[in-house]
Amino acid sequence: MSNLFSPEGKLYKFMSGFTDVFKLNMLWLLFSLPIVTMGAATIAVSTVTLHMVDEEEGHVGAEFLAAFKSNLKQGIAMSFFTIIPAWALYLDFQIAGSDAAENPLFLLIVGIVSAYIIIFSLLYVYPLLARYENTVLGSLKNSFRISMKYFMRSLLLLAILVLELALMFWNTTTLFVGILIGPVFVNYTVSGFASAIFKELEKIPGTVAQKE
C-alpha cells in the first residue's frame, strides 16, 4: 500500500500528471482571455505538452510562462490566422444554408475546399511553432505539407480530435470536465502525433532547426 502513494507509485504519478494538466489548462484559459493572446498561450501549451509526450520533466508553470513570453509576437499573429479563417468558414456555411444564397452549391464547394486547406494548415502549426525556428506563414505551410505527407495519420488524428470534442460536449458534466482539462487534453493528443512525426523528420539532415 505504501508503494501506491510513493513518488514512484502509479497513483502518485497519475495525480501528479492530472495536477499538471489542470494547472496548464488554467494557465491557458487565463492567458487566452484577451483573445488576441490565445495563439501565444496555445504555443506555450504545445511547448509543455511536447515535453510531456517526450517524458521530459519540467516545471509546468515556469515553462509555460517562458514559452508564452518568447512566442508572444508570433502567437498574436496566430490568433488572427486561427480565428478569422474559422469565422469566415462559419459565415460561408451559414450563408450557403440560408434562403438568401444565390448559389449555395458554389458557396458549399468553396467552404469545403477552404476547410480542407485551413484544417490541415492549422493541424500541426502550434507544435511546429513551439519546437522550431520559423515564420508563422512558413509554419502554416509546413503544417499543410506534413499533413499531406502523413495523410492517413493526420486523418486518424482528426478523427480522434472529433471524438474527444464530441465526448466533451456530450452533456453538462462532460462539458464541465472539458472546461477543466479539455483544451490541454486536445493539445496533448496533437503533440503526441506531432512528436512522432517530428522525430522522423529530424532524422533527415538539414530538414528542421529546433529552437534553443
Is the pLDDT at 137 greater than 80? The verdict is yes
Beta bridge partners of 210: 132
First to last CA, the chain: 43
Cell 522525430, residue located: 199
pLDDT band at 9 (very low <50, low <70, confident <90, very high): low
pLDDT tens-digit readout, 23-58: 999 999 999 998 999 999 999 999 999 999 988 777
Please tell me the total count of domains within the chain: 1
pTM: 0.89
Residue 22 lies in a domain: yes
CB 56 within 8 A of CB 130: no
For residues 156 and 50, what is the distance between their CA atoms, to the nearest angstrom? 19
Residue range of the domain that includes 144: 2-201
18-27 mean pLDDT: 91
* SS percent in the chain: helix, strand, coil, step 5: 80, 0, 20
2-6 mean pLDDT: 50
Amino acid at 201: L
For residues 189 and 196, what is the distance between their CA atoms, to the nearest angstrom? 11
Residue 206 lies in a domain: no
pLDDT band at 160 (very low <50, low <70, confident <90, very high): very high
The pLDDT of residue 208 is 60
For residues 117 and 104, what is the distance between their CA atoms, to the nearest angstrom? 20
Stronger pLDDT, 133 or 210, i.e. the higher one: 133
Residue 151 lies in a domain: yes
Residue 207 lies in a domain: no
Cα–Cα distances (Å) from 7 to 3, 10, 15, 64, in that order, read 8, 8, 10, 24
Percent of the chain with pLDDT over 70: 88
143-160 mean pLDDT: 97
